[in-house]
Amino acid sequence: MSVPTRTPAPLPPLPLPRSPGGQRNGKSPKKKRVNESISTWRLTDRIGYVMMWAAGLLLCAIGIGILVFMAFKGLQYLRPDLLFSSPTADVDQSKSGGFLDPLLGTVLITLIGITIATPIAIGAATWIVEYGRPTWLARLIDSGIEIIAGTPDIVIALFGLVLFQQGIFGWMSFVATGGAVFGRSFLTAGAMMSLIALPMVFAATREGLQSIPAHVREASYALGKTKAATIRRVLLPSVKANISTGAALGMGRIAGDTAIIVVLLGASLTLDPQGNVPGLNVLKGTGGTLTSYVYNNSPAGEGNAPQKAYAAAFVLLLIVLALNFAVDLIARSGAKTGLETSRLGAR
Amino acid sequence: MIDPHESTARSAQTTDEPANGAMPPPIRRITLDSQPTVALPPSQDAVAIANTSDRSLAAAGRPTRGVAGPERMTISDLSVFYGDNQAVKHVSLPIRQGEVLALIGPSGCGKTTLLRTLNRLTELTGSARREGLITLDGTDIDSLEVTEHRRRVSMVFQQPNPFPMSVFDNVAYALREQGSKRPKKKVLEPYVIDALQRAGLYDEVASDLDHPALRLSGGQQQRLCIARALAARPEVLLMDEPCSALDPKSTNVIEELIVELRKELAIVIVTHNLQQAYRVGDHVAFMYLGDLVEYGPTDELFDNPKAARTRDYIGGAFG
């Protein structure tokens, strides 16, 4: 079993480029660590490097620009009484009130949407990751959610209007004397809004569950726990931060959506309760949100009161930014105590 | 290349390799005239081995061995398949109360599969199939409800894997009943403290039972996992390379713990570390490619291995 020995001829040393910093002699009194120098890079790499910096800085500038512009315009017209008075239709802008109703509408529609979306999304994600059999069904559910995520909100809105104008959904909105179902209300708009948030909660939950190592599940089974106990007591608590992140992102999407509001909520100035049951009457009634208020008061809308549009838009921006900030906070706290760092907490 | 006598390697109760059967895959040979490469670093045990000419250890250097009690689990003619691949081949072994059974062997020899089969974790793998009989106190484990069986035969894993909850809740999780009945924290507290004490962790975490378990050090996490496994008062404790992710000091603490725990329960430990098998094992089973090559009392197996392959493995010729 003797292997024939073969000594390869020694290769001449490759002429490798030297960093100019490498030749520094030890005379300089200030000791400086020599780092990798960009001057040794290829030209294409250097161009790429500059472009990466440029892209990052540009995005920063755009973000800060929007914020500063909206803050400037918004704060110029924002008065506290705008937040606490209901809008009224009046030619004189000093008498047309504030946007209390749209503000309440935004909060309400966001809560309805996320309340419907979260349990469904968690259930679907848990089933896909923890069961996922038969495979064809798992794939089908995955595609279904992808379709929902990819459908433009105006299409979802139209679909919702057709759906909720069916007779069996009469309890969700206003029914005219002839029996025609109106189909537009907080309930119907909220139900369709849940489809906007659902893919985000679903993706975040699934990502979290998939990142839990298999041996954690096995540790629970090895203690004699059932699959149900494992999911409820170990897996879902572990992905709490992911779920919250997804939910906050979804709420931001709902708060910022306009098409569904215009088509399914009526985009009216004030909340218009239907029926006599307190609470339910608001849910069955139509209304508007900050997005529809901004649209109606912009030069494109019928109100044409740009000052109020700016003020409302600024408030809307603050709400969405607050939600994004909450996402960041949740992700960071999750990274400290959770099994894994979630997407945003990892940085 | 293969010594024909080697294929008569003794299984504990069955000889499964036919003498003229398929050739087992070749093992890496070392040249005969050179000194064998010894994989063990020169610790006290190794020095003791080197200093005695007949390779028997000086009695003073031997760890104290456990006193074998009644047989708790019996594995007879166990085979485990993953699809068409047979991972464990006709293995028969006894597991006794009061002693530690160490499973050794090179990677992929089926020792972890064997261990996971003992508390029916292999059943979670879709392609796995099992033949043969495993009994717990004389009862076929298949006839036991799987969660009850796993409470009686608990397991500690290679990676410390505490759940992302507090130290207290980690241990209490094992105690809490499934379903609607959930005992109060006050009721559970003495049991949790007892389990932590038995795992030798209580003194270190007494003041922060409410802290997240994932903030503990690796060694503490592993002892927490042991405490969690002990909390359900199992009869058999399975350990899958419990020290391979830990530093030497934590390893030492856990080995002492294993020796302490063997008084009250039967322990099966899978290890890559021959010295660890020597230190904590009372009986050692050497597995190779799914076969149980040799099984015997630790001192006997390390001093006078009967099978040539065991001798090679212990001598560090392959692995």
Distance from CA of A142 to the nearest CA of B (A): 22
Interfacial B residues in 188-217 facing A (CB < 8 Å): 212, 214
Residue A219 to residue B119, Cβ atoms within 8 A: no
Residue B164 to residue A222, Cβ atoms within 8 A: no
pLDDT digits (tens, 9 = 90+) for A81-115: 888 888 877 777 777 778 888 999 999 999 999 99
User: Where are the strands (E) in chain B, listed by range?
Assistant: 71-82, 85-96, 100-104, 128-136, 139-140, 153-156, 236-240, 266-270, 283-288, 291-297
Cis ω before A273 (30° cut-off from 0): no
- Of residues A80 and A160, the one with the higher pLDDT is A160
Find chain B residues with C-beta within 8 A of A233's C-beta.
Answer: 173
Chain A's closest residue to B146, CA to CA, is: A224
pLDDT digits (tens, 9 = 90+) for A196-218: 999 999 999 999 999 998 888 99
Find chain A residues with C-beta within 8 A of B214's C-beta.
Answer: 337, 339
- Of residues A112 and B39, the one with the higher pLDDT is A112
Nearest to A221 among B124, B164, B238 (CB): B124
Structure token pair of residue A285: 């009634």
Residue A223 to residue B228, Cβ atoms within 8 A: yes
Residue A245 CA to chain centroid, in angstroms? 8
Question: B161 — contact with chain A (CB < 8 Å)?
Answer: yes
Q: Long-range contact list for A329-335, CB < 8 A, 24+ apart?
A: A330/A241, A330/A244, A330/A245, A330/A248, A331/A241, A331/A245, A333/A241, A334/A240, A334/A241, A334/A242, A334/A244, A334/A245, A335/A241
Chain B's closest residue to A227, CA to CA, is: B147
CB neighbour burial string for A239-273, b if at least 16 within 10 angstroms, e if fewer: bbbbbbbbbbbbbbbbbbbbbbbbbbbbbbbbbbb
pLDDT over 60 (residue B28): no
d(CA A134, CA A141): 11
Nearest to A224 among B151, B165, B238 (CB): B151
Distance from CA of B35 to the nearest CA of A (A): 18
Q: Give the A-side interface with B, CB within 8 Å.
A: 213, 215-216, 218-226, 228-229, 233-234, 237-238, 337-339
Q: In which band, very low, low, confident or very high, does the pLDDT at B103 lie, cut at 50, 70 and 90?
A: very high
Distance from CA of B95 to the nearest CA of A (A): 18
Name the least confident of A200-204, A251-255, B11-15, B31-35: B11-15
Averaged pLDDT, A147-167:
92
Chain A's closest residue to B149, CA to CA, is: A224
Q: In which band, very low, low, confident or very high, does the pLDDT at B249 lie, cut at 50, 70 and 90?
A: confident
Residues 6+ apart with CB under 8 A from A146: A199
Chain B's closest residue to A338, CA to CA, is: B164
pLDDT over 90 (residue B21): no
d(CA A253, CA B154): 46
Residue B161 to residue A222, Cβ atoms within 8 A: no
Q: What angle do CA B319, B122, B115 make, to 5 degrees?
A: 50
Distance from CA of B214 to the nearest CA of A (A): 7
Residue A219 to residue B232, Cβ atoms within 8 A: no
Strand partners, B198: none
Average model confidence (pLDDT) for chain B? 80
**Which burial class, exposed, middle or buried, applies to B97 when counting CB atoms under 10 A from its CB (0-12, 13-18, 19+)?**
buried
User: How many Cβ pairs within 8 Å bridge chains A and B?
Assistant: 69
Chain B's closest residue to A241, CA to CA, is: B164
For chain B, the maximum distance between any two Cα atoms, rounded to a whole number of angstroms, is 69
Find chain A residues with C-beta within 8 A of B229's C-beta.
Answer: 222-223
Three-state secondary structure call for residue A237: helix
d(CA A218, CA B234): 17
Q: According to the model, what pLDDT value does residue B268 have?
A: 94
Residue A215 to residue B159, Cβ atoms within 8 A: yes
Distance from CA of A131 to the nearest CA of B (A): 12
Find chain A residues with C-beta within 8 A of B155's C-beta.
Answer: 218-219, 222
pLDDT over 60 (residue B207): yes
Chain A's closest residue to B148, CA to CA, is: A224
Nearest to A223 among B159, B165, B174 (CB): B174
Task: Please state the ipTM of this predicted complex.
Answer: 0.74
Question: B235 — contact with chain A (CB < 8 Å)?
Answer: no
Q: How many residues does chain A have?
A: 347
Interface test with A, best of B120, B145, B157, B161 (most A CBs within 10 A): B161
Find chain A residues with C-beta within 8 A of B158's C-beta.
Answer: 215
CB B196 within 8 A of CB B149: no
Find chain A residues with C-beta within 8 A of B157's C-beta.
Answer: 215, 218-219, 222
Q: According to the model, what pLDDT value does residue B312 have?
A: 86
What is the residue extent of each domain of chain B?
Answer: 4-315
Distance from CA of B163 to the nearest CA of A (A): 7
CATH number of A81-337: 1.10.3720.10
Residue B164 to residue A213, Cβ atoms within 8 A: no
Question: B124 — contact with chain A (CB < 8 Å)?
Answer: yes
d(CA B237, CA B156): 8
Interfacial B residues in 258-317 facing A (CB < 8 Å): none
Structure token pair of residue A185: 């209300």
pLDDT over 50 (residue B7): no
Residue A221 to residue B212, Cβ atoms within 8 A: no
User: Which residue matches tokens 């070392």?
Assistant: B30
pLDDT over 90 (residue A166): no
pLDDT digits (tens, 9 = 90+) for A264-299: 988 888 888 887 778 788 888 888 899 998 988 888
Distance from CA of B164 to the nearest CA of A (A): 6
DSSP label at residue B127: T
pLDDT digits (tens, 9 = 90+) for B276-309: 899 999 999 999 888 899 999 998 888 888 888 8
Distance from CA of A205 to the nearest CA of B (A): 16
pLDDT over 50 (residue A123): yes
Average model confidence (pLDDT) for chain A? 84
pLDDT digits (tens, 9 = 90+) for A51-60: 999 999 999 9
Distance from CA of B155 to the nearest CA of A (A): 6
Residue A223 to residue B161, Cβ atoms within 8 A: no
Phi, psi of B73 (to 5 degrees): -120, 145
pLDDT over 70 (residue B42): no
Find chain A residues with C-beta within 8 A of B164's C-beta.
Answer: 237-238, 337-339
Nearest to B161 among A216, A225, A226 (CB): A216
Distance from CA of B90 to the nearest CA of A (A): 24
**Which burial class, exposed, middle or buried, applies to B280 when counting CB atoms under 10 A from its CB (0-12, 13-18, 19+)?**
buried
Fold type of domain B4-315: Rossmann fold (3.40.50)
What is the residue extent of each domain of chain A?
Answer: 43-77, 81-337
d(CA A219, CA B229): 9
